[in-house]
């Protein structure tokens, strides 16, 4: 039965159900229980934003607090995965990837191919992404393109609690390393989620709104900005179609091409920096595969190519807005041949 819960609860429920289902699933990360070795409350934090709170009571030592030592414990999660476990490691912020990236892109991502198909690395790295928390340059990035660039990694970035639960369960069951990106600004976002366990297959984009005038292709928090734009544009008689990619690797280009073929116009919205971004990638592929269907120039809506600024006044300007998305749609509608 479905009920309305937050994305945070959806993550917690997915972890809980998979830990109950499969004893090989273990969780580790900094403060994912909280208070380890201290005199006070056990499960004091349940993760820095409380996402894993309560799981310790149910699953005990299968949740492990780690030292502040990302290379060691992310690497240990990967090593354990290569030895038959199915670890879910939490890397608090995607911005911390820099300190443990080797273990992810040279080790986990490569094992299956480099060892001739004889090794599997079923590890999930859950990590917080995105701006909006006034957390500035080192705790706010959307670094998804760093990971989509690496063969062997799967990259997920859901926009709703429903997708979050189903995609996290799929990530845990998948035999490849998965970077599971959780937008911190969506943790409290509510949505209908079935209580029962379910998996959403990778590589299946979701058309969250149908329309005939222009396709908006996006993921994560930006899906919601696209929906804002869609509401504004509808009042102007413009019906946009919104494609939520959900997984960035594998990437469901067929759904994107199908949508662009129908509408003839494309706006790519990405919270990542513009250069070599998901938006740039989608634009290039549409230009290659569906050039004939395009009636006008492709538009991209991204932040400027700057670090994420601290000041709320600046950060609000940095994050792509619904108004910017609507403007991009209007530009492409004016462009090209009519």
d(CA 169, CA 125): 13
Q: Is 224 a catalytic residue?
A: no
From residue 290, alpha-carbon distances to 51, 287, 336 in Å are 41, 6, 15
List all residues 6 or more positions away from 115 whose beta carbon is below 8 Å from its beta carbon: none
Contact between 243 and another protein per CB under 8 A = no
Structure tokens at 154: 């799967």
Contacts of 49-52 with C-beta under 8 Å, sequence gap 24+, read: 49/8, 49/128, 49/184, 49/187, 50/8, 51/8, 51/11, 51/12, 51/90, 51/182, 51/187, 52/11, 52/12, 52/15, 52/27, 52/90
Structure tokens at 171: 């990530």
Q: Which is nearer to another protein, 122 or 166 (CB)?
A: 122
Selecting among 59, 139, 183, 224, the annotated active-site residue is: 139
Residue 151 CB, nearest approach to another protein (Å):
6
Identify residues 109-128 at the interface with another protein (CB under 8 A): 110-119
- Give the one residue of 8, 126, 154, 225 binding another protein; rule: CB under 8 A: 154
Structure tokens at 209: 């709104």
- Give the one residue of 16, 198, 207, 250 binding another protein; rule: CB under 8 A: 250
Q: Where are the beta strands (DSSP E) in the chain?
A: 2-6, 25-29, 63-65, 86-93, 124-129, 154-156, 178-183, 190-194, 206-209, 214-218, 240-244, 247-249, 266-269, 299-301
Contact between 218 and another protein per CB under 8 A = no
Residue 251 CB, nearest approach to another protein (Å):
5
Contact between 79 and another protein per CB under 8 A = yes
Residue 80 CB, nearest approach to another protein (Å):
4
Single out the segment in contact with another protein by CB under 8 A; choices: 7-15, 50-58, 80-88, 264-272: 80-88
Identify residues 41-70 at the interface with another protein (CB under 8 A): 64, 66-67, 69
The number of residues that bind another protein (CB under 8 A) is 45
Contact between 96 and another protein per CB under 8 A = no
Residue 158 CB, nearest approach to another protein (Å):
18
Contact between 151 and another protein per CB under 8 A = yes
Kindly list the residues in this chain that would bind another protein in the complex (CB under 8 A).
24, 26, 64, 66-67, 69, 71-85, 87, 102-103, 106-107, 110-119, 151-152, 154, 176, 203, 249-251, 253
Kindly list the catalytic residues.
139
């Amino acid at each position: 039965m479905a009920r309305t819960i937050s994305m945070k609860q959806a993550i917690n429920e997915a972890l809980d159900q998979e830990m109950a289902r499969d004893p090989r699933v273990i969780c580790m990360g900094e403060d994912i229980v909280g208070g380890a070795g201290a005199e006070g409350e056990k499960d004091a934090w349940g993760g820095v934003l409380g996402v894993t709170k309560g799981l310790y009571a149910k699953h005990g030592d299968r949740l492990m607090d780690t030292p502040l030592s990302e290379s060691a414990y992310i690497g240990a999660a990967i090593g354990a995965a290569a030895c038959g476990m199915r670890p879910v490691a939490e890397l608090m912020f995607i911005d911390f990837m820099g300190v443990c990236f080797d273990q992810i892109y040279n080790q986990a991502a490569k094992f299956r191919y480099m060892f001739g198909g004889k090794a599997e690395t079923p590890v999930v790295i859950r990590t917080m992404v995105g701006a909006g928390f006034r957390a500035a340059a080192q705790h706010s990035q959307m670094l998804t393109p760093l990971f989509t660039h690496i063969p062997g990694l799967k990259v997920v970035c859901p926009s709703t609690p429903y997708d979050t639960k189903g995609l996290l369960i799929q990530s845990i069951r998948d035999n490849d390393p998965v970077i599971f990106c959780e937008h911190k600004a969506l943790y409290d976002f509510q949505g209908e989620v079935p209580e029962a366990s379910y998996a959403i297959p990778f590589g299946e984009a979701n058309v969250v709104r149908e329309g005939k005038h222009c396709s908006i292709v996006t993921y994560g928090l930006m899906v919601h900005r696209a929906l804002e734009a869609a509401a504004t544009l509808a009042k102007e008689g413009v019906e946009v179609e919104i494609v939520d990619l959900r997984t960035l690797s594998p990437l469901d280009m067929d759904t994107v091409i199908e949508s662009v073929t129908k509408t003839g116009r494309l706006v790519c919205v990405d919270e990542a920096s513009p250069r070599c971004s998901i938006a740039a990638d989608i634009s290039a592929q549409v230009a290659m595969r569906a050039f004939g269907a395009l009636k006008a120039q492709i538009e991209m809506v991204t932040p400027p190519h700057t670090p994420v600024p601290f000041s709320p006044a600046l950060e609000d300007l940095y994050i792509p807005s619904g108004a910017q998305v609507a403007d991009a749609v209007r530009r492409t509608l004016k462009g090209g041949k009519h």
